[in-house]
Structure 1
Amino acid sequence: MMLVCFCSGMPVEWLVKAMQSRGLEVFTQSFSRKLPFPDENKERYMVRGTNVYGILRAPRAPRTEALVISAPCSPGDSNNQAVGLLLALAQYFRNQVYWAKDIIFLVNEHDLMGTQAWLEAYHHTNITGMEYSPLQGRAGSIQAALSLELSSDVITSLDLILEGLNGQLPNLDLANLFYAFCQKLGVLCTIQGKLQRNDWDTAEGYTHAAQTMMLMVLKQACGRSWGDHGLFLRYHIEAASVRGINSFRHYKTDAATIGRLLEGMVRKLNNLLERLHQSYFFYLLPSLSRFVSIGCYMLAFGLLVVILLLRALDLWVHLGAPALAAVEGVTEAQQPSGPGVLTVLTPVVISHLTGVALYLLPVHLQEMAVEHFPVSETEAVVLTAVAIYTAGLALPHNTQRLLSGEGTEQGWKVLKLTALLYLAVLLGCTALINFSLGFILAVTLVPITASMTPHMPKALSALVMVLLSPAFTVLYCVFIYQELIEAPVSVSEGWMLFLSVISQGILDHALYGSLVYPLLALFIYPCWLMFWNILFWS
């Protein structure tokens, strides 16, 4: 196996001297992480890096609370403007006397990995198996954080990024604060990279708002952190990323204006006597000035889940109704004989064992696959996952006959009743954690699963079920996302992006604890296989 090692490419000594010259208490932290398989997108396997952070102590408070301003520093000059702005803010903040909270200026290496190592060390946790040195300097309890991403020296607008790990969002007041200062200073601001329109009552305005909101839904549903801020949300720290964009040629914002905006936001957060909590934590944004609250969009999801519950109730009534039988001209009611336990339990167990294989085997079999096939480790992991997913379509076929002989009419009804209730609970729990993911799964799974019976045309029903399976849902989301960001791709390019999404999902789960891949592999896919088994019940 070829090891790609990224040693420290960040100017650590220069950053330490620069922060010390600005009167900060400066500390460093080293960390390392071996990936479960190489990340071909960033060409790394064994990662080693160093975080540098400086603490500006609050002169007028007991130093029990803190704010964080971070800037990821990657190899090259991809975010050097943000690091320069962070140092300029540190120098300006040092000369002010109104700070009531400690301010931590963090420059982290290797993007999310550096942030993860620093946060785990700061909170004395280790949930991802990362190796890191303990922090020598600490501040108070972190109340809020801002992450800066400025890759160009020409900034035409600022884009606010809110989506965090597993679909978490910061308190809406943080987005309102950013928008208010942008309006005050005349800075062009965007959400999802799209400008806000004022013609809300026109068809174009509605279309633009719907596209913006759909982008947020897709980003939230994928469960990954779209900026360094996403990992702060796990620790109940309200955080967002501010990304500089150079795409609107008629506008230009200088660094001084951006600095004033950030200084204003930090001052507002500095004046808080408690954490942000009085606004929404669950919302969708068609623009920065409008939002859709949970009380509105949860109704649509609830109506979809009710379909499953009503169908389950209908099956329950039919299972309990006595059958009519004619004996010597007299009609008598007979209690239907219930199916054996193995008749229902067998497909349930086999479906979930397939899900366990889909979750565990791709990473564990990568070395064997590389030895026998001309593929890289990443390709081996992804193709193994695709192969297990495809093999699962054949494995549970007619599993009710493995131990109990012929399937019965009552058998598939009991299995479907179980599967419907199981799916309703899964979707409900998913929506509570990540509404967007739960809603997308409900839209694709509820119609076909609620109507599925063994008496439907096999070929057509099987085709529809495959096209609405979890894997194809992810594939559709890839194409829709590319269309929404106005970067359409061909079928072959979309397929490669789909494979990349799978590998990234597995990596995000191993590195940061993303729940999307284990949720799909261990629960959603086995539940779908139970309905697949019902279709071929005989």
Structure 2
Amino acid sequence: MAETEAPIPKQRPIVRLGIFLISHSFFFSVVCCTAGILALLLLPILAKNTYISENALMPGSANPMLSNQEVLEANRFVKDLIALNSKPRGAGIESQRLIAQYMTDLGAEVNYHKFHPQVTQFHPLQFFSSSDSRIVEQNISCLSYGVNTVGIIRAPRGDGKEAIVLVTPYNSDKITQGEAISLGIAYSVFSLLPRVTWLAKDIIWLVSDSQHGEYAAVSAWLRDYHMPVFTRLHTGSTETCPDINYLYDVKDNSIAGRKVNDGFKRAGTMAAALVVKVVERSERFDDSLNIYAEASNGQMPNLDLINVVNFLAVHRQGFRVQVEKLRSLLDSKWLKNLGELFESAGQVVRSLNPQWRFGIPAADYTEGIATLASSLYNQALGVPAGPHGAFRDYQVDAITLEISPRASVDRMIRQDDFLLRGGRLIEGVIRSVNNLLEKFHQSFFLYLLTSPSKFVSVGVYMIAFALLVAPLPMVAASLYADATNLNSSQKKEKPTRAATIPDEPGTTLRSWKWVNAAKKVFVVHLWGLVVSLLPYFICQIPNCSPTVSFIIWFLLSALSFFIMFLILASPFSHAEASQLHVREWAILKSVTISAIFIGLCLMSVINFSTAEIGGLLVVPMCLMAQPMRHDIRVGSLRTLSRLACNLIFCLIGFPPVTFMLLKGAFEGFHSINVGDFWRWVDSLWAWSSATYLYIGTVHLPCWRVVHSPMVRTVE
């Protein structure tokens, strides 16, 4: 009786699905990439209205207590500050003493905080540390020191374990009208708080000396606040500065029993921080309030903090709240046409079912895209949008409030109204944060804004990124499978000694051809790391302009690539690799796509916006790349079109060219030079932006592998 053959076990559904997608990788790639771009364009339509997640905040539940009496005192304070500009000695030291005087009049604990500038040049060993841990200058002159004035009000009902920080930057050398009014707004609130009964958190008013930069002053104070230094560094330099020592000479103070403290005063853990700035620019509408929230590496404060400010500013004080947007996109014709298309689609959907909500007016869509693009761009840069970014390095939720009056505030009546509304806004925010029993945690930390009152959460915008990068592993697997099948068919047609003797070691090594491709990809990524470190050495060249620095960087990068590749993975090192076979090109592309997929996924965890923008550039470039010599030899319309696309992606995928094109599209091409790219990169590494590492170690190596002469193959 003949033995029956054992039935072949059926594969699992997930395995069959994977095989189906790999076998149809081209169709899958086209569908996913198109859906990913469409999902990104649909984000303004999918955005939800903001809402207060933490019920304890209760914004606007109590009537404001700030009255005209506090406004009168603030007006007197503003006049005294402006009057200092006419003194021959200057406003520097006198303004700091005047601010301290007013603080002590309110019963606050006052101290001066001396800080010095720090070197902002790139240093590879400190790249992953916080942006404020930089190199200290050794020879510091008296003019290089800045002095912050800090006042603390202890909460009568608090235990001193929590605090709210109010920051007002100003230039101590010459106080502008806007800076004086911002100080007046903060003073009006600061003068009210010692008399209220509801205060449960300490209030810190930091008047930061911005003559060396707004961020530098705030970050220096935060560094000393969280990491106290018990040894007096550089005391010799400060003791030889008579102006700084003059600040502490307050024995002739008319306030009995009060003086400025010599030591560094602290309060509790910071619950939140507000940076208040008044910018004098005429507005066509009502008084406006611009909110800046982006911090280093795309970090954002808790959305509830923005929601509280937006609610109080719009519904209580009548400000017109705005967030930054790319103005150039507002006049884009294709964007307006796309908005009209979505608006028409929304009308059709609502006609089918009134409960289905899809589509928004074309004008709202255009503005939403402009705001979304600005939010993506600012987060991708990784550079803080204001001094509030220093707080996020210590996990403190903070935003910058930039208030712009509708007209000039020189007139007394107009200035009183502006101070009253601005002070009541700050009072309301402080009162809401004061109600919290714990830190902000209820709302979102990962989000994109499409307007001050609409946002896109991480669960929605990650869909666009997932669709965009989903084809990469499928295409990599398909290329590797095709290369393996091609190898098997070649062995059947032309059997070799290695194929007929399965026990020979060379047979096993034939299945490890991907190791050679992986070695080449690894070498190129190693070259990208070298390129990322070169600016540190270029910065050591004295009197080197940005244009010259960029040219030196470009030449050294090209030289280092050829040297490293010839030594470690040269295709010219032996005759067999002089021209790669089609199968080896497929394996090389498979490994490259796998590397870029891993790089994009890792970058999405660090900074999603960088990964999203990088995916829009890299994914089409990787999927379209094919051997150029083969396309030229075939000469069909399809291959020539693909060759043209490869050349276009090769051009726009090169980081300097990409930067120039984007800068020209948004700002115009009339003022572009190659030095702008060096300045931009300089800002990235100065702020320890992860985007800099992504460009050097992920994007640039991928571009180099895909569009290098090494990938030219023959049949």
- TM-score grouping bracket, smaller chain normalisation: 0.7 to 0.9
Q: Which has the higher strand share?
A: 1
Which residue of 90, 93, 115 maps to 2:190? 90
> 2:148 matched to 1:51?
yes
Q: State the SS of the aligned residue for 2:148.
A: strand
1:324 pairs with one of 475, 479, 489: 489
Matched, 1:522 2:681: no
Cα contact 2:271–2:397 (8 A) shared by 1 = yes
d(CA) in 1 for partners of 2:99, 2:562: 58
Selected match of 2:324 from 192, 199, 204: 192
Counterpart CA distance in 2 for 1:190 and 1:131 is 44
| Alpha-carbon distance between aligned partners in 2 of 1:309 and 1:344, rounded to the nearest angstrom | 17
Structure-1 separation of matches of 2:391 and 2:698? 27
How far apart are 1:64 and its partner, in Å? 0.6
- Counterpart position of 2:63: none
The alignment's C-alpha RMSD in Å is 3.7
Indicate if the aligned counterparts of 1:454 and 1:536 stay in contact, CA closer than 8 A. yes
* SS of the residue 2:707 aligns to: helix
- Cα distance, 1:50 vs structure 2: 2.2
Matched, 1:298 2:462: yes
C-alpha distance 193-212 of structure 1, shift in aligned 2 (>3 A) = closer
Alignment check: 8 A CA contact 2:392 2:398 kept: yes
1:142 to 2:142 alignment: no
Preserved contact between residue 396 and residue 529 of structure 1 (Cα < 8 Å): no
Deviation at 1:67, TM superposition (A): 0.8
Establish whether residue 228 from structure 1 lines up as the match of residue 387 from structure 2: yes
Given the alignment of the two structures, is residue 255 of structure 1 paired with residue 414 of structure 2, yes or no? Answer: no
Q: Residues 327 and 261 (structure 1 numbering): CA distance in 2 closer, same or farther, change over 3 Å?
A: closer
Would you say 1:115 and 2:221 are equivalent positions?
no
Evaluate the alpha carbon distance shift between residue 36 and residue 100 of structure 1 in structure 2; reply closer, same or farther with a 3 A threshold: closer
Q: TM-score, normalised by structure 2?
A: 0.63
- In the alignment, which residue of structure 2 is the partner of 1:508? 687
Query: What is the deviation of 1:246?
Result: 4.7
Q: Is the 8 A contact 1:71 1:82 kept in 2?
A: yes
Deviation, 1:63, is: 1.0
- Partner of 1:106 in structure 2? 206
1:184-227 per-residue CA deviation (whole Å, 9 max, x = no partner) reads 2222211116999xx98321221111111111111111110001
- Distance 1:329-1:172 versus aligned 2 partners, 3 A rule: closer
Q: Which amino acid aligns with 1:190?
A: Q
Cα distance 1:36–1:226, how it changes in 2: closer, same or farther (>3 A)?
closer
Gap regions ≥5 residues in structure 2:
1-90, 123-136, 239-261, 331-342, 344-358, 409-413, 500-506, 633-642
Deviations 1:256-297 (A, max 9, x none): 101101100010000101111111111111111211111111
Q: Which amino acid aligns with 2:204?
A: I
Stretch moving more, 528-537 or 266-275? 528-537
Give the match for residue 404 of structure 2: 245
CA distance in 1, matches of 2:434, 2:320: 25
Q: Which residue of 2 aligns with 1:279?
A: 443
Q: Residue 24 of structure 1 corresponds to which residue in structure 2?
A: 108
Q: What's the offset of the Cα at 1:324?
A: 1.5
Q: Which residue identity does 1:502 align to in structure 2?
A: V
Q: Which residue of 2 aligns with 1:61?
A: 158
TM-score calculated relative to the size of structure 1: 0.82
Question: 1:76 is matched with which residue?
Answer: 174
Q: Which residue of 2 aligns with 1:207?
A: 366
> Partner of 1:430 in structure 2?
603
Question: AA paired with 2:214?
Answer: D
Distance change (3 Å), C-alpha of 1:327 and 1:379: closer
What does the per-residue CA deviation read over 1:74-95, in whole Å, with 9 as the maximum and x for residues that have no partner?
Answer: 3533533322322222112222
> Structure 1's 89 and 457: CA in aligned 2 closer, same or farther, altered over 3 A?
farther
Q: Tell me which of 150, 153, 158 is aligned to 2:289.
A: 158
Q: Give, in angstroms, the shift of residue 330 of structure 1.
A: 10
SS in 1 for 2:365: helix
CA distance change for structure 1 residues 276 and 328 in 2, over 3 Å: closer, same or farther? Answer: closer
- Worse-superposed segment, 239-248 or 390-399: 390-399
Structure 2 CA distance for partners of 1:340 and 1:268, relative to 1, 3 Å: same
- Secondary structure of the residue that 1:69 maps to in structure 2? strand
**Gap change, CA 1:381 and 1:83, over 3 Å in 2:** farther
For the residues of structure 2 that align with 1:125 and 1:318, how far apart are their CA atoms? 62
Residue 230 (structure 1) shift: 1.4
Structure 1: gaps spanning 5 or more residues: 1-7, 39-44, 483-487
Q: Answer yes or no: is the 8 Å Cα contact 1:339–1:408 preserved in 2.
A: no
Contact 2:380 2:607 in 1 (8 A): yes
| 1:4 match | none
Q: CA offset at residue 314 of structure 1?
A: 0.9
- Label 1:525 to 1:247 Cα distance change in 2 as closer, same or farther (>3 A): farther
Distance 1:500 1:289 in 2: 34
- Residues 18 and 382 of structure 1: CA distance in aligned 2, closer, same or farther (over 3 Å): farther
1:401 paired residue number: 571
| Change over 3 Å in CA distance of 1:146–1:401 after alignment to 2 | same
Alignment check: 8 A CA contact 1:160 1:242 kept: yes
Distance (Å, rounded) in 1 between the aligned partners of 2:563 and 2:650: 16
For the Cα contact (< 8 Å) 2:151–2:206, is it kept in 1? yes
Q: Map of 1:448-527 to 2, 5 A cutoff?
A: 448-455=621-628, 457=631, 460=644, 461-480=646-665, 482=666, 488-493=667-672, 497-509=676-688, 514-527=689-702
Corresponding residue SS for 1:272? coil
Q: For residue 3 of structure 1, what is the aligned residue in structure 2?
A: none
Q: Which amino acid aligns with 2:99?
A: L
Corresponding position: 1:168 with 2:299 = yes
CA drift at 1:170: 0.9
> Counterpart of 1:415?
588
CA change 1:363–1:234 in 2 (3 A) is same
- Alignment check: 8 A CA contact 2:618 2:699 kept: no
In 2, the alpha carbon distance for the partners of 1:384 and 1:90 equals 53
Higher share of residues assigned helix: 2
Distance verdict in 2 for CA 1:425–1:48, change over 3 Å: farther
Equivalent residue pairs, number: 504
Per mean C-alpha deviation after superposition, the further-off stretch among 84-93 and 468-477 is 468-477
**For residues 140 and 360 of structure 1, what CA distance do their matches in structure 2 show?**
40
Question: How far off is 1:494 after superposition?
Answer: 7.0
Matches within 5 A, 1:361-380: 361-368=534-541, 370=543, 375-376=544-545, 380=548
Residues 358 and 149 of structure 1: is their aligned pair in 2 closer, same or farther, counting only changes over 3 Å? farther
Letter in 1 for 2:157: R
Aligned-partner Cα distance in 1 for 2:282–2:492: 89
Instruction: Summarize the Cα distance change of 1:338–1:20 in structure 2 as closer, same or farther, 3 Å threshold.
Output: same
